[in-house]
Amino acid sequence: MSKSAQSHSRNAGSGGRVLSSRGWSKARAVSVPILASTVMTCSIGALLPPVPGLVLFTLGLVVAIALLVDRVEPIVVRLVYGGALLTAEDHRALGPALAVLSSHGLGPPRVRFWVRHGSATDGVITVGRRSVLVSRGLISAISSGEVGVESAAMLLAQAAGLVRGGATRGDLFIRFWALPWLCLTSGMVRAARGFGVLPLVRMTWKARWLLTVVAAAQAMAESHVALAGLVVGIGGISYLWPRWVRAWQTECQVLGDEAAAAVRASAPRGLVTDHLTLPE
């Protein structure tokens, strides 16, 4: 049996375990934004009159569920991310790189490639479970020869590897549902920066263990055991969550690097550059 076949056999045998582990890692990384956004949404809905609150929550839920449907993804890519179908000229520029990716199961039709506005340094982004958006500047750099075919293939392989590996599945839903969390955190940072207290906020965040201990002690002194437990739990999660996010980012980096390494290994010796440098 060839080395490639052995590798595919091992992946098939452990696919369920790896997928389950990866899903759990991602779930932990997005747990705080999702939970906080859900609480904020329900709280705001409770403050609204019954009918508008019900309509707002129902519409949000319908949109969130729709974002999990594969057929909705191209619409979001076009309307939200400004993606467009590859033109004939784009296909000529990306054709050789896409051919390399397809030989590793990283190209169409499993992975859809789109073009978006942006410079070469904007590179490539992933959207949803199937879409990879390539900046117009990068395509121009590939077409002009500033970025070689092999280097382009590795760059695209990193993004396509995330899509094929399922790392981006559900991202559209997560980004939409976590909008309240994003608005809250970005608003707080902007406000702290505007009032010139951002260094104080950072210092307070680093000393949150002390605030947690004080708040829990006060709750226990007033016999609010449940409240003390909630405070300790929130304090503990505030330390665990950054670790979960970093762990998930590391998994995504490894997944993309493995896909790029597979492309590199299959290329003729001497054709792949050691480092990819995008033009300014």
Reported as a single tens digit per residue, the pLDDT across 202-259 is 999 999 999 999 999 999 999 999 999 999 999 999 999 999 999 999 999 999 999 9
Separation of alpha carbons 230 and 153, rounded Å: 49
pLDDT of 69 > 60? The answer is yes
Query: Tell me, what's the pLDDT at 22?
Result: 79
Q: Is pLDDT above 70 for 269?
A: no
Predicted confidence at residue 212, as pLDDT, reads 94
Per-residue pLDDT at 56: 87
Look over the chain and give the mean of its residue pLDDT values, rounded to a whole number. 86
Distances (CA, A) of 139 to 38, 93, 160, 259, 276: 40, 7, 16, 20, 15
Q: State residue 20's pLDDT score.
A: 64
Lowest mean pLDDT of 62-76, 157-171, 239-253, 260-274, name the range.
260-274
Categorize the per-residue pLDDT at 118 as very low, low, confident or very high, splitting at 50, 70 and 90: confident
The pLDDT value recorded for residue 219 is 93
Mean pLDDT, to the nearest integer, of 2-8?
42
Dihedral of CA 25/26/31/32: which sign? Answer: positive
pLDDT at residue 13 above 80?
Answer: no
* Res 93 pLDDT > 60: yes
Q: Where are the beta strands (DSSP E) in the chain?
A: 84-85, 112-116, 124-127, 131-135
Q: How confident is the model at residue 27 (pLDDT cuts 50, 70, 90)?
A: very high
Half-sphere exposure of 168 (CA within 13 A, CB side): 22
pTM above 0.85, yes or no: no
The pairing of beta strand 124-127 with beta strand 112-116: unpaired
pLDDT of residue 123: 85
Strongest mean pLDDT among 22-26, 54-58, 182-186 = 182-186
pLDDT at 8 over 70: no
Mean pLDDT, range 9-29, rounded to an integer? 65
Q: Can you give the pLDDT at residue 268?
A: 53
